[in-house]
């Protein structure tokens, strides 16, 4: 969560591990939605000594939300469709096929996503 990352940055700043400029730069990156590594990499390179973490896939997963508008049950497939740039019916078909072929695995995965993926 953003508030946890900012709280951690504040603790590092208070402990003297971050200068005022580094704290402000890291906080701006967190608020802009970027993930930062709180370990110094020593390279500087205009990043305030911090490195960016994660891949595009990880960023998409973190932005995954269940949609309210185009949903049949919980909005999981609609959220996946928007996040990965596919139609929701494709995801519905994938979950249905997984459920039939794997004796219910698709339904279990859908249920877990319904529970753990936040609503928009």
DSSP string, 51-115: EE---HHHHHHHH--B-SSS-SSSSHHHHHHHHHTS-HHHHHHHHHHHHHHTTSHHHHHHHHHHH
| pLDDT value of residue 83 | 83
Could you give the CA distance from residue 40 to residue 27 in angstroms, rounded to a whole number? 15
| pLDDT value of residue 98 | 92
Instruction: Count Cβ atoms within 10 A of the Cβ of residue 20 and give its class: 0-12 exposed, 13-18 middle, 19 or more buried.
Output: exposed
| pLDDT value of residue 80 | 87
Query: Token match 């603790």: residue?
Result: 11
pLDDT in tens, the chain (120 residues): 667 777 887 788 787 777 787 878 887 777 777 655 555 444 444 444 454 455 677 777 777 888 887 778 888 888 888 888 888 899 999 989 999 999 889 889 989 988 888 887
- Length reported for the chain: 120
Give the pTM. 0.51
Which residues make Cβ contacts (< 8 Å) with residue 114, sequence separation at least 6?
66, 73, 74, 76
65: left (phi over 0), alpha (psi -120 to 50) or beta: beta
């Amino acid at each position: 969560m953003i508030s946890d990352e900012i709280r951690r940055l504040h603790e590092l700043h208070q402990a003297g591990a971050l200068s005022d400029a580094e704290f402000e730069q890291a906080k701006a990156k967190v608020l802009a939605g970027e993930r930062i590594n709180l370990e110094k990499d020593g390279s500087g390179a205009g990043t305030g000594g911090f490195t960016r973490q994660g891949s595009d896939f990880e960023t998409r997963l973190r932005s995954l939300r269940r949609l309210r508008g185009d949903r049949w049950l919980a909005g999981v497939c609609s959220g996946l469709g928007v996040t990965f740039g596919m139609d929701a019916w494709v995801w519905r078909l994938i979950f249905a096929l997984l459920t039939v072929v794997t004796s219910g695995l698709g339904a279990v995965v859908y249920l877990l996503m319904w529970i753990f993926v936040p609503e928009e």
